Structure 1
Amino acid sequence: MATTADIKNGIVLILDGQLWQVVEFQHVKPGKGGAFVRTKLKNIVQGKTVDKTFNAGAKIETATVDRRDYQYLYQDGESYVFMDEQDFDQLSVPETIVGDAAKFLLEQQEVQIAMYQGEPLYIEMPPSVVLEITYTEPGLQGDRSNAGTKPATVETGAEIQVPLFIDQGTRVKVDTRTGEYLGRVND
Structure 2
Amino acid sequence: MPTITTNDLKTGITLELDNGLFQVVEFQHVKPGKGGAFVRTKLRNIKSGNVFDRTFNAGIKVEQAIINRDDMQFLYRDGDDYVFMNNTTYEQLNVQPVALGDTADYLVEGMTAQVAFFNDEIIGVEIPASVELTIVDTEPGLQGDRKTGATKPATLETGKVVHVPLFVEAGEKIRVDTRTGDYMTRV
Give the C-alpha shift of residue 14 in structure 1: 1.3
Give the C-alpha shift of residue 145 in structure 1: 5.5
Residue of structure 2 equivalent to 1:137 = 139
d(CA) in 1 for partners of 2:33, 2:165: 51
Q: TM-score, normalised by structure 1?
A: 0.93
Give the C-alpha shift of residue 52 in structure 1: 0.5
Q: Residue 23 in 1 paired to residue 25 in 2?
A: yes
Question: Which of 146, 153, 156 pairs up with 1:154?
Answer: 156
Residue of structure 2 equivalent to 1:82 = 84
Alignment: residue pair count: 185
Amino acid at match of 2:108: L
Query: Is the Cα contact below 8 Å between 1:72 and 1:111 reproduced in 2?
Result: yes
Residue of structure 2 equivalent to 1:122 = 124
Residue of structure 2 equivalent to 1:4 = 6
Give the C-alpha shift of residue 47 in structure 1: 2.0
Give the C-alpha shift of residue 84 in structure 1: 1.2
Residue of structure 2 equivalent to 1:65 = 67
Residue of structure 2 equivalent to 1:49 = 51
Give the C-alpha shift of residue 31 in structure 1: 3.4
Amino acid at match of 1:6: D
Q: For structure 1, which runs of at least 5 residues remain unmatched after alignment?
A: none
| Residues 105 and 60 (structure 1), Cα distance of their counterparts in 2 relative to 1, 3 Å cut | same
d(CA) in 1 for partners of 2:145, 2:106: 27
Amino acid at match of 1:109: M
Deviation per residue, 1:146-180 (Å, 9 max, x gap): 43110001111110000111111111100111110
d(CA) in 2 for partners of 1:141, 1:43: 46
Q: TM-score, normalised by structure 2?
A: 0.93
Identity %: 55
d(CA) in 2 for partners of 1:16, 1:119: 18
Question: Which of 176, 179, 185 pairs up with 1:177?
Answer: 179
Give the C-alpha shift of residue 32 in structure 1: 3.3
Instruction: Provide the alpha-carbon RMSD of the alignment.
Output: 1.3
d(CA) in 2 for partners of 1:57, 1:71: 41
The worse-fitting range, judged by mean Cα deviation, of 140-149 and 127-136 is: 140-149
d(CA) in 2 for partners of 1:66, 1:52: 25
Q: 3-state SS of the aligned residue for 2:153?
A: strand
The worse-fitting range, judged by mean Cα deviation, of 30-39 and 146-155 is: 30-39
Amino acid at match of 1:23: V
Query: Is the Cα contact below 8 Å between 1:12 and 1:19 reproduced in 2?
Result: yes
d(CA) in 2 for partners of 1:19, 1:145: 46
Question: Which of 38, 54, 57 pairs up with 1:36?
Answer: 38
Amino acid at match of 2:40: R
Give the C-alpha shift of residue 135 in structure 1: 0.8
